[in-house]
Structure 1
């Protein structure tokens, strides 16, 4: 699990609850079933109107990416590419044929298969750049669905509050019921804002951030494949690929 997501959501709920309790409130009272029904499904359905069907389906399939720890490990990928580069430089590209069949990454497998099959570098580069472009577009569309839902949620919270107030004002002859109705109406506003800035909206931004790592790994692999086909020195190729690591990551050469 991605602790930044889990701890972020649970931490936000905890701090809001503590603040409410300190003021004499009860966080449980904010959980209003009617408000949840009005806001959550409506938000997701309304966001479908302006989102491509492929990206709607992908948005829900990508929930695993959001809540699970990223599987992208650039250091391990560089190590793998340099091993393949060393083998190809020593024994020729055809020696990679058996290794390619065992690769766990479809992008890397596709690129190296094209190389082993004797395709020109330009053809390999054009093909894989198209894959990268489509991957980026796909995840951007999926993330946009959640971000759009986050932007829609507060407005629907306002709609829920207005509907609650309309019903509450019909009970002017019973001040107690009217007060309870008004209190219930404002739970819709809280639900909408909370969903937008703690749940749905951040989920979209998290997916966008993680998709950046997926795309960066593909760009790294493309550079590695081109280097292998060129017959670059493995040490030189590794130095180039290490530049794909962020400043927060330490760069360790396997040749040291």
Structure 2
């Protein structure tokens, strides 16, 4: 919602100020379709040329995320802490039972309680692989911590490809605007014998290209790239909660302390309170 409000404010203030200053929208509207075709087409073409299909699809999903917001909500953080509490308790009390859950999470009664988390296959696979290593006595805390850090770093970097691609597009747009403007000047020079009022309109149309390139770069694509990065960085905190629980567990801390360490590392806006997590865990015990 903030992104939509920001775009609306930008458009109203820029073009509203131009109109109030006595500018004529007719020149811009006449040139806009052609300039947009040149600048937007070149930007999209360069984007497709410079990225693989996976990055292109990820960028499309990133643009949707800008308007939907981060994937993981406050309730998801609470659910993850409850899930990790159940898994850590199983690893301590009944490693054999835990193995059946991590080998087939889709049919696990533990994972099925949290369908949104279960739908994230990469994340569930990371949880299961790490706990499988723990069951195999791969219990060197620093090795597990380093392994998790590397895997989470790779996941985060992959999720930032869309942001990088959008930022590269934003960096190129001003130069593409100049290209469109130069073409407009070439067209104007070919009509140098026309009356001054005609030449003035043609030069104004050429300058629309420069305006459009800078406007799109710094008022639309650049802010979108920054917002995508913010969203993906915030989602990275969600994955780090799992790391905090497991590493703390390997230090032989009590399960509830492991959950509390992870809870405190959650972003402030999504962090469930201590009582909320405690009540959720009590509800799980009563249901069991």
TM range (shorter): 0.7 to 0.9
Scaled by the length of structure 1, the TM-score of the pair is: 0.83
Q: Does 1:172 align with 2:201?
A: no
> Given the alignment, which residue of 17, 23, 37 partners 1:25?
23
Matched, 1:196 2:217: yes
Among residues 211, 229, 233, which one is paired with 1:212 in the alignment?
Answer: 233
Q: Does 2:235 match 1:233?
A: no
Q: How many Å apart are 1:128 and its aligned residue?
A: 4.2
* 1:186 aligned partner: 207
CA distance change for structure 1 residues 166 and 184 in 2, over 3 Å: closer, same or farther? same
TM-score, structure 2 as length reference: 0.75
CA RMSD between the two structures: 2.9
Q: Report matched runs for 1:79-94 at 5 Å.
A: 79-82=79-82, 84-85=84-85, 88-89=88-89, 92-94=94-96
Q: Are 1:255 and 2:281 an aligned pair?
A: no
- The equivalent residue for 1:161 is 181
- The gaps in structure 2 that reach 5 residues or longer are 102-107, 113-117, 280-288
Q: Distance in 1 between matches of 2:160 and 2:181?
A: 32
Aligned partners of 2:161 and 2:126: how far apart in 1? Answer: 25
Deviation at 1:209, TM superposition (A): 1.2
| Alpha-carbon offset, residue 150 of structure 1 | 0.5
Task: Specify whether residues 86 and 134 from structure 1 end up closer, same or farther in structure 2 by C-alpha distance, changes over 3 A only.
Answer: closer
Residues in 2 aligned to 1:66 and 1:153: alpha-carbon distance in whole angstroms: 20
Aligned to 2:120: 105
Q: Quick check: 2:185–2:206 contact (8 Å CA) kept in 1?
A: yes
Distance 1:169 1:131, change over 3 A: same
Per-residue deviation at 1:66? Answer: 2.3
CA distance in 1, matches of 2:55, 2:156: 12
- 1:248 deviates by 5.5
How many pairs does the alignment contain? Answer: 254
Offset at residue 107 of structure 1 (A): 4.3
